[in-house]
Structure 1
Amino acid sequence: MPKNARKPSGIHHDEFLQTHIEEILQVSKPEGLHIDLFCKAVKKVFDPHIVGAEKIPDGPCMFVANHSLFALDGYILGPLMYRELNRFARPMLDRFLLEIPHLGDAFVGFGSALGHPEVCSALMREGHDILLFPGGAHEAVKPASALYQLQWRERYGFVRLAAQHGYTIMPFGIVGPDEMYGHLIEGEDLPGSPLGLLLKRLGILSENTRADLLPPIPVGALGTLLPKPHRCYIGFGNPVDLSHHGGRKPTQRTQEKIRAEVAAEIEEVLADLLVTRARNRSKEGLLRRVLTI
């Protein structure tokens, strides 16, 4: 269990956050043979195609994107940003991910941090790139009917943080990870299904379980749990420069306008990427086409 992730008994909330912040600020860009091998594996299996990288400013950015099913995009984006874009973007994660034994330590070691305003602010004060998905868990468990649709609800925190620190928001989209698994049963349908009734008898589900946060029952390549090797397409939109807001909290109306601008950039990128993918489908190898059926 990573010491930064769970608040020990008797430790004040502020002290807990400070300990976590001190730890993540000491993390440097991952290097080594294991990183090289992982990057090569990602490129070999998912053959990523990047467009619009020339739009990324030189200064620190808050990279904001759509989130994929089961948050698989993080495993694709991390290596690409390290090696292809030379950016060490710090992913903001939900706390439950950092609490997973051993895996939580690995996330922190690779640069991830707790998705909390104070943590994010500490990184931004030091000029770090930030990577976040405003849709969070809702987008990571979305049904097949909502593929490539932003589900940000009423979240404006990322806009306020970027404005207060005078950051540039870099909107981008990713196509591919959403379809690495089929949906055998949608999460929202699970409680009423025979499998859901069994899970209730076993005590895994209860009447208080939120169906909107349940993931679908996945099916991967050739009916296994291995992800389908869909080619990934990543596209960057136009940056949204908020430097003129530095140190000031924007009004609610301004926050809504900025968020709408960022969302529109991402949606336009996603639409273009889907068209590009459709045009390139016939160029993919037979093995990839078979494994992504």
Structure 2
Amino acid sequence: MANFSDQHNQPLASDEALQAHIEQALAASPMVGRELDVLYAVIKRAFKPQVFGVEKIPDRPCLFVGNHSLFALDAFVMGPLMLKEYGRFLRPMGDKFLFTQPGLAKLLLSRGGTMGHPEVCSALMAAGEDVLVFPGGAHEAVKPASKRYELQWQERFGFIKLAASHGYTIVPFGMVGPDEFYTHLIEGSDVPNSAIAPLLRKAGLLGDDTRPDMIPPLPLGVMGTLLPKPQPCYLSFAEPVSLASYKRRKPGKAQLKQIRDEVALRIEDELAELLLIREQSRQKDGLLRRLLTV
């Protein structure tokens, strides 16, 4: 469980820190060799990922935009899968609280992750990198079970503005599976009033300034552990949205909303199709997998 009291920290508050972060992000290289092979093998065996629509992805740097799952484990599955099978080194952009601890920040940067900051994203696009963004951010990554596979984008347009300014192509995608890696023993909004709240406060994980909508649920994984349940994962790419025509002109507010809504609609259509495919495939799961995903 994250230290929620750090949510207001500013890890890239100074220009020097921001530039250092950008330099480290640009210097990152994709996993290779045994490390990638082992992680890929674990993902394939545990989650049996199926990918649809990969032929729609343009042969040029893109901004991949999708729905966010609980604890951001979608990137953990998607990153090695896309790198190993399709040679696409996706650069996931994460919430600032992930970069408040130097050790974790160093690890994420070394594996291609970066902080979701406009200047960082702009630098990656200028370098021709594949960028992975979840506009719902941390808010969508801690949503309650009742909101599974629902986009929580609110009024965010930043990713559209950045893609437009660099003439990037947006590749919408939907992913089903990671939202069921854990059962929600206690929903995040109920944690402050739960029996474990005093323990969390004592441990410094819950503070008076903690936003209830940013608290994750209390998770329960496979056989009551914190290991994710081996839910099969389904990933599907929609038709891309090219913003090349906006590289020399800024889209207006109405155009920004139209583009964002179109991207969201394409993701929602993919999610609906994937949920149907999953339902039709359930009988193919072995007995052990069905028992472990209860």
Residue 208 of structure 1 and its aligned partner are, at CA, apart by 2.7
Letter in 1 for 2:240: P
In 1, Cα distance between the equivalents of 2:179 and 2:231?
9
Gaps of 5+ in 1: none
Residue 101 of structure 1 and its aligned partner are, at CA, apart by 4.3
In 2, Cα distance between the equivalents of 1:288 and 1:6?
41
In 1, Cα distance between the equivalents of 2:248 and 2:197?
49
Q: Cα gap change, 1:203/1:103 in structure 2, threshold over 3 Å: closer, same or farther?
A: closer
Q: Cα gap change, 1:204/1:62 in structure 2, threshold over 3 Å: closer, same or farther?
A: closer
Partner of 2:148 in structure 1? Answer: 147
Residue 204 of structure 1 and its aligned partner are, at CA, apart by 4.1
Q: Alpha-carbon deviations, 1:146-204, whole Å to 9, x = none?
A: 00000011110000000111000000011000000001110011112222255446664
Alignment length, in residue pairs?
Answer: 285
Say if 2:262 is the partner of 1:274. Answer: no
Q: Alpha-carbon deviations, 1:100-151, whole Å to 9, x = none?
A: 3433222111111121111111110111110010000011100000000000
Letter in 2 for 1:241: S
Say if 2:11 is the partner of 1:20. Answer: no
Letter in 2 for 1:181: Y
Partner of 1:193 in structure 2? Answer: 194
Partner of 2:111 in structure 1? Answer: 110
Partner of 1:158 in structure 2? Answer: 159
Residue 55 of structure 1 and its aligned partner are, at CA, apart by 0.5
Partner of 1:225 in structure 2? Answer: 226
Q: Secondary structure at the match of 2:174?
A: strand
Residue 275 of structure 1 and its aligned partner are, at CA, apart by 0.2
In 2, Cα distance between the equivalents of 1:131 and 1:257?
21
Partner of 1:242 in structure 2? Answer: 243
Contact 2:68-2:140 within 8 A present in 1 as well: yes
Q: Alpha-carbon deviations, 1:57-93, whole Å to 9, x = none?
A: 1011000000000111111011111011210111111
Contact 2:36-2:84 within 8 A present in 1 as well: no
In 1, Cα distance between the equivalents of 2:159 and 2:204?
36
| TM-score computed with the length of structure 1 as normaliser | 0.93
Q: Report percent identity of matched pairs.
A: 54
Letter in 2 for 1:184: L
Q: Secondary structure at the match of 1:131?
A: strand
Q: Secondary structure at the match of 1:268?
A: helix
Partner of 1:253 in structure 2? Answer: 254
In 2, Cα distance between the equivalents of 1:28 and 1:206?
37
Q: Secondary structure at the match of 2:196?
A: helix
| TM-score computed with the length of structure 2 as normaliser | 0.93
RMSD: 1.6
Q: Secondary structure at the match of 1:173?
A: strand
Partner of 2:66 in structure 1? Answer: 65
Q: Cα gap change, 1:202/1:231 in structure 2, threshold over 3 Å: closer, same or farther?
A: closer
